[in-house]
Each structure stands twice: as structure tokens, then as C-alpha cells.
Structure 1
């Protein structure tokens, strides 16, 4: 896996791409503290390698619950508390506000102190499903049932994109805002995917510089 990350860095440098994205992950048999100590030894040389090639390693704040046998967060970069840890290693943030909303975190308040550490932004929305939080809680179901939220294209969920993009711009972010299409209502055919992307484009086009 570490060799693969290095090859991605090599490719990014050759193509003039400034970032390579990955995850922190975790060993579910270890405590969070022990995982973070182990991760430091893994990521410090990778960060150094990337910087030697003019590339930043970025970590998405996705829970990756499917990586944990009990459905708990499998990627130790899901909250601002953990962002602060990874910034000390030279890792930067691939910011996806949808995952914060799904944890009950205000995505604007969470991002504002750390905008200078955001190197990429993923535009994905989230729709909260009424009443289901009272059954599952923030961690979601363990039974395989549908959870208390689902991902949507920007404009069809709870996120106020004007507030999110405005906060990023005020903080000095001027990089990419990439639509991450995971909306189950707009899949199944090329035409439906393109229609979903069109909704995202119309939602974001007046907010993002061309």
C-alpha cells in the first residue's frame, strides 16, 4: 500500500497535479491512541516523499464505516479533533461537508479554523431521513437497514452551499470544488448520472469561480 501511494505521488508530479488523496484507516483491534501512534510512523515518510515531489497528501474526512467490523468509524480523520492530529504530520484535508452533517457537526463552523489546511473540496450533499435518527443514532444501524441519511448531489440535501463556499473563500481557499456523485436517485444510466451532475452544476456554478 505504501508503495502504491508513492507511485500515485510519482504520477501526480508527472501530471502537475498538486494533491494525492488517501485515508488514515485504523486497526480495529487497537485503541484510537495506539492507532494514531502507529500511523505517525507510516505517514511521516510518505508526507516527506510527497513534498519532495511537490505534492500534498490529503485525507478525506469520511468515516469509512464499512472498514470496521462493527460499523464504527474506520478512518481516523472524521472530526476536527483528528484533523489537528494529522496536520501535525504535514497531511492536509480533503474536505467533504456531507460527512460532517451526518455526524451532527456544523460543516461551516468545523471548517473555518482550518481553511488554510484544506487542499481539496468534495461537493456532496446529504439528505436527513426524518425520524430515523431516533432509532439508530449518529453511528447508524448495525442490522443492515437503511441509515438515517443518504447522500445527494449538491442542491438536493441539507447543506447550505452558499454558506460553505463563502466560508472557504473568506478563509482564502481558491482550489478545486469537485462534485462527488453518490446520489442513488440519479444513477442507473448515463442520462440519469448526467442529469444529477447538471443539478450539481446549477447549484454551484454561481458560487465557484470559473
Structure 2
């Protein structure tokens, strides 16, 4: 198997790029995906500089060479079609810049999200339609596709011009959040350079099966995030569609931004589900079968750990996830 196993460095934002790469090298990984905009800052890449200067690109890639790690992707997960201008304008521009930067750096993959429009042209906030059994919701959903399709036709053309794939996360609260909605996007855009960043944690959350999703997507699997989800006893009465979250005061340190003036909210005390370190929701045998399925699709995929388990420190969680990922890889051979 020729997969490159690495990690998304967003959880190491408090360290310099070189320090973050040293962490990945020490725990047995060989690739790094860095944030280039969207919801969170991008301390590990000077995007404008690498777009505009060959010398800056050579210097930047030299850091990876020096630390023995390969740059395997840029990430700009955000909401580029939001009706909130302080979200959509910034995130759409970040995505365009990331595509150009990736092309200039010779990086194949950009990770992004489809985003979520509002209910209509006058809407102020994004609205995620989950189950449009009501004709009103179906009308909203129809409108949202008229926003997302032309935007991603443009993005696909830009990606094609830069020899880059834009890999969408199938993440709830996005118009494209599961396999059927991705298939609709491809059908309506005719895209050639839009694929899926297959993050199994998002599918587990929806009670979908990542291995079966991968088989159906086939060559549309363009990039992979190694992240796990665990269900908790609260699922018995909450289900997996739960709104029992809370506000976090703006002056609390260490919040995760999602747009100008907005932050990630507080989880319920007894959650239905939670993202966990890789291997803590499903065992090594499961992940070995997951990797075998991906190998049959494309033996050259990038597999990057995304650590978002609040029960573990950033380095501790990466170490745990890397150990489980590499153990699963060893079972595949």
C-alpha cells in the first residue's frame, strides 16, 4: 500500500510550522495538511506569499524537506455560500486562494465544505434543511441549490486550471453532507475536479457506514481524514439530531471561531455522540477493512488524522490516533 499517512496540523496551531512537523515525524507520520483559511486561522502557511513569489514557495517547501514531512493538502473548511457577508466573502476568497496556492506548490488536494445558503435571497442566516418532508422546506432547498451549483462550477473551473482537486467534507450543516447530495452536486455541475474528503466520523454521526459510502463513491474519494466517532448512552433519548447545545461567553479564552464574532458552542453534558481519537470508536480490524476498501479504489490516497477529541491533549490525541492508524495499516500490509 502506498498511502501517505499524516495529520492535519490545525490542532498544533500554538506551535511553529517546524515544531508541528517535528511532532508528526516523531509519532511516525510522513505527511501534513495545513489550514489555509475558512473557519480557523492559518498560521502554518503564508498564503499570499506562496501565491505571489517563487522564492517564498521554495522557502516554504524547504521547511517540509528539512523536517522530513511531505505537504499533502491545504484545508479551507468554511461556509463560502453563507448569506452572512462576514462569512461567505472571506471563506470564498480563502478557498480561491487555497486553490491557487496549492497549484503553485504542486499540492494535489484542497479540503473544503460546500457551505450552507440561507432560505431565500433576503435571508440573513444560513439554514440547514435536513428532512424536507414539508413543501416549504423543499422550496428552500431548491433555492439553495441555485446558489451552490454556480459557485461550484466556478470553483471546479479554477481547480481544473490549477491542476488541483477540491475535496468536500460530507459534514452535517452543509448542503452537501452525504453521498446522495454529493452525487447531485456532480450531476448538476458536471464537475471534474470536485471530489470527497472522506471523513468517516461525519458519516458515523449520521448513522451512515463509511465503508459502504466509499464503495459507492469509488473514484470520487479524493482525500481521507482519519477521525472516529463514538455513540454515548444519551443517544437513546436524544437521537443523533440534537439541538441541546449552549452559548459560550465571548470572553472565554481558547474558543474556536467559525465566522467573525461567532464561535463553536458548548456541548450537552450527556451527549448522544462525540468525535473521539482515531480508534476509540471502532477497533483496528474495522479500520483495516476501511483501508483495504480505499486501497482498492486508489492506492495513492492521502490519509490525514484530524484530532478533535477534547478528552485528550493535542499531542496526546495525535499520538494515540497515529498508533491506531498505523496498527490498522500494518494489518493491511
TM-score by length of 1: 0.84
Distance 1:52 1:194, change over 3 A: closer
Find the structure with the greater CA-based Rg.
2
Distance 2:236 2:290 in 1: 27
Q: Does 1:80 align with 2:179?
A: yes
Matched residue count: 196
For residues 1-210 of structure 1, the aligned pairs below 5 Å read 1-30=91-120, 31-63=140-172, 74-88=173-187, 89=189, 90=191, 91-130=194-233, 132-144=234-246, 145-146=268-269, 147-158=271-282, 160-187=286-313, 190=315, 192-206=316-330
- What CA deviation, in whole Å up to 9, does each residue of 1:72-123 have, x standing for no partner? xx21221111110122332210110111111111111122011200110000
Q: Which has the higher contact order (CA 8 A, sep 6+)?
A: 2
Aligned partners of 1:93 and 1:117 also within 8 Å: yes
Deviating beyond 6 angstroms after TM superposition, the runs of 4 or more aligned structure 1 residues are none
Distance 1:179 1:194 in 2: 7
* Structure 2: 5+ residue stretches without partners: 1-90, 121-139, 247-267
TM-score by length of 2: 0.54
Distance 2:209 2:318 in 1: 29
Query: Displacement of 1:175 after TM fit?
Result: 0.8
